[in-house]
Each structure stands twice: as structure tokens, then as C-alpha cells.
Amino acid sequence: MTTAQVRNVPDRLKSRGERVFKSWESLLFAVMVAIFIVNCFASPYFLDPWNLSDATFNFTEKALVALALALVIISGEIDLSVAAIIALSSTLMGTALKMGAGPTELVAIGLITGALCGAVNGWLVTGLGLPSIVVTIGTMSLFRGLSFIILGDKAYTGYPAEFSWFGQGYVWWVLSFELVLFVVMAILFHILLHRTSFGRLVFAIGNNQTAALFSGVKVARVKFILFVLTGLMAGVAAVCLTSRLGSTRPSIATGLELEAITMVVLGGININGGSGSILGVVLAALIMGLVTFGLGLLNVPGIVMSIFIGLLLILVIAIPVILGKIGRRRKAA
């Protein structure tokens, strides 16, 4: 007579709590709280409500782009042209300004330009089957080059006060329009990615594009929409950034794509596609905003911040790879 094997089945609520505790988002939240506390002791000006409000301008425009870029990366693609799209959108807004366009027309031109640039990327990737990293490196130079051709070494200024509100205005007390816009867009992107069938298609394509294709998923259509959406969000960022600066230069938003990608990867989005969450991207954006603002209060030079962001991107990509190799060696042993 054999003895029945006894197995301990973990409580469902307990295992769910353990998953939450061990999740990447929980770690990011803990890091964010720690950085907030360190900044409180590092500078006596950090807790001023208006200073904290100003800190949001350090990341909102980049984070708006990162929300859409997260979906592109989850699908297994990438877009390196987002900063150049911002530059071209801003340049065409400045051109329209000189032709007498009003605030409404300027916003429309910025959004349409961004969406069209995204459509160009999407068509080259899905229509011609070109690698997205090659395509967007090329369009990055193309869009930025068009801005330099149109503007040269000049700058557009003199934007109307009504237009400046998008980048400088406040909805209520210390809540800027950019921050409120970011929160609203984060909620919408969370719903799109995690609560709709379209979001499930994005995850399916990122996990196994071939399997998704044979399952009837219109892979090319989904990816084209994602590139258009990313271009549109770059257009939104162009409106906010141009109105905040009050001027347009061909060098505007230089390096923004690096910081946006850092937010996405730091937020737990798998650089190879297939997994990630919008909540992680939001927390990563807040962390980078707090870090750059805290360093700014300590008068740390901008080049040091750039070095920090570059190192952070390398570490975030390298750490999971290193941990994976260690885990495989332990299993082999």
C-alpha cells in the first residue's frame, strides 16, 4: 500500500500578495520613495510646492512620448526618431506662426505633423518590411535635417500667450497642464494596453510574431497603428515643449529619445518585446524626474546628468541579462 504524496497548495491571496511585493513596479515605487527622502535632506528647497511643480516639467514631455514608445517596444519594434519628429513638428508650427496661424491651428499642425511622421515610419517598417531600428535611424536624420534646412541657424519666437499656456499654464494651484495631461494619457494608455483586445494583440505580437500571424492577427496593421500613435504623441510633446520654451530651434529636443527609451526600459518593458506595464513606465518617469530635479538643486552640471542617464540605461538592460546567466548556471550546477 503506497502512501499518498502530500502537496502544499499555497493560498491564492497570499501568492498574489507575494507577486505584488516582488514585482518590478513595487521595487520602482520603493526606489522612488527613497529618492524623494534623500532629496528632502539634500536640499531645503525641495519640498516647496512650486519647486515640486517645476520638477514635473523635467519629465512630462519625455514621459508622454515614453507611453507610446512602450507599446512599440512591447510589440518587438523601436522608434529612435521621436526627438526628430518633435523638432520637425515644432519647426512647421513656427513656420505656420510666421504665416499668421493662431493657437488652434498651431496645435493641429503639431499633432498632424507628428502623426504623418509616424505613418512614414510605420509604412517603411510594415509596408516594405524594413527593420525598425534602421528605418528610424534614417528618419531621425531625415526629420532633423528638414528642420535645419527650413530654419538654418535661426529661431522662431513670438508665440501667442494663448499657445504658451499648454507648456506654462496651470490647471489648479501647482498642477500644471502638462502634468494633468500626462496623468490622463497614462490612464488611457493603461486601459488601451491592459484592458482592451488591442493591447492583448500587442503582447501577442511581441511574444511571438509568427504565432500571432498564423492565429489571424493583422500584425502589420497593429504595428502601423503603434508607429502612428508614437508619432502623434511626439506631436503632443512638440506642442508642450514649444509652448513652454516659447521658441523653435532645429536642435530642440536633442537627446530626448535616449531619455524616453530609458524611462521605458527602467519601467520594466522588455527591450526584446512581449512584456511590461504602463504603471512601470509612469514610476520610471517619476524617478528620473526626481533624480534630475534633485541634481539640479545641487547645481550638478547637465553633462553629469547625461552621463547618469546613459549609465542607467546600460545598467537596466544589463542587470536582467546578468541575473539570467547566474540563474542558468545555478540550475546547471
- pLDDT at 2 (0 to 100): 47
Please count the other Cβ atoms lying within 10 Å of the Cβ belonging to residue 141: 12
pLDDT tens digits, 237-277: 999 999 999 999 999 999 899 889 989 998 989 888 888 99
pLDDT tens digits, 154-168: 888 889 888 888 988
- pLDDT at 311 (0 to 100): 80
* One-letter identity of residue 286: L
| Percentage of the chain modeled with pLDDT above 70 | 93
pLDDT tens digits, 175-221: 899 999 999 999 999 999 999 999 999 999 999 999 999 999 999 99
Distance between CA 168 and CA 170 in Å, rounded?
7
pLDDT tens digits, 45-97: 888 888 888 888 888 999 999 999 999 999 999 999 999 999 999 999 999 99
List of E strands, the chain: 156-157, 170-172, 175-176, 247-248
CATH code assigned to 48-318? 1.10.3470
Residue 11 has pLDDT above 70, yes or no: no
Distance between CA 196 and CA 194 in Å, rounded?
6
Least confident of 2-6, 42-46, 96-100, 107-111: 2-6
Distance between CA 219 and CA 209 in Å, rounded?
7
Residue 320 has pLDDT above 60, yes or no: yes
Distance between CA 106 and CA 99 in Å, rounded?
11
